[in-house]
Amino acid sequence: MKIVILLGAPGSGKGTVAARLVAADATLKHVSSGDLLRDAVKRQTPAGVEAEGFMKRGELVPDTIIAQMIGDLMKGIQGECTLLLDGFPRTVVQAEILDKTIAGCGAELSCAVLLDVADEVLVERIAGRRGCPKCGAGYHIKNLPPKVEGICDVCGAELITRKDDNPETVKNRLAVYKSQTMPLIDFYKGRGQLREVAGVGAIDEIVTRVKQALA
């Protein structure tokens, strides 16, 4: 089994790219750490039960428990498979824990793919998002505008911006991402495992570049 780590800032399009890759290749599996955590809690696996305890106390789930969930997942997979890890690791400490989990499962870390997108583009992408509070439809003022400005095409409700998507909040989220992830990028670069891919342009072009980086 092979492991590929997906790295990219909020708004870099990691999730979209991963979905496209998985749809085109049955040996690829997209593993978002958030989904993994929710699933383990729901199924009440030993790691899930432990994680739930931390969550109920309002505490962060320790890195080792997330790594255990990834290990459990790897052990449950038969045959040829490449896991695209999304959301873990985010820090060098997590990367070191993950290394041990991967070795313990007899798997191999292929590379870390970084979707590179300039800050101005990230801010524009995220700050342009609008959502319908009534039916949940999503829009973007530039890339996917509603027919009438500020109004939901589907149900006619007034569109809103999520608090997290305000330009100021976005800048803070990017600053947090950078302070955590820059050392992680250097960590993989130092081991010759970093593949940098330009995350701009048409989605098809981005997906093609990521495929080339994985080949």
Stretch that binds Zn ion, among 34-42, 86-94, 138-146, 156-164 (CB under 5 A): 156-164
Establish whether 162 is a catalytic residue: yes
- Bridge partners of residue 158, in order along the sequence: 151
Residue 135 binds to Zn ion (criterion: CB under 5 A): yes
As measured in angstroms, the least distance from the Cβ of 131 to Zn ion is 9
Q: Give the interface segment with Zn ion, choosing from 31-39, 43-51, 69-77, 147-155 (CB under 5 A).
A: 147-155
The residue from 7, 40, 61, 132 that contacts Zn ion (CB under 5 A) is: 132
The residue (of 41 and 152) whose beta carbon lies closer to Zn ion is: 152
Question: For residue 116, what are its two tokens?
Answer: 């590179």
Residue 115's nearest CA partner among 2, 3, 10 is: 10
> Residues 90, 171, 189, 211: which is the catalytic one?
90
Pairing state of beta strands 129-131 and 138-140? antiparallel
Our answer to whether residue 147 is catalytic in this structure is no
CB of 137 to Zn ion, least distance (A): 5
List the Cα angle 93/49/164 in 5-degree steps: 60
Angle made by CA atoms 30, 4, 94, in degrees to the nearest 5 = 95
- Does 144 bind Zn ion (CB under 5 A)? Our answer is no
User: What is the torsion angle, in degrees rounded to the nearest 10, for the CA atoms of residue 145, residue 173, residue 18 and residue 80?
Assistant: -170
Catalytic one of 129, 130, 195, 209: 129
Residue 90 is a catalytic residue? yes
Minimum Å gap between C-beta 40 and Zn ion is 33
Rounded CA-CA distance 40/38 in Å is: 6
Catalytic center residues:
14, 90, 129, 162, 173
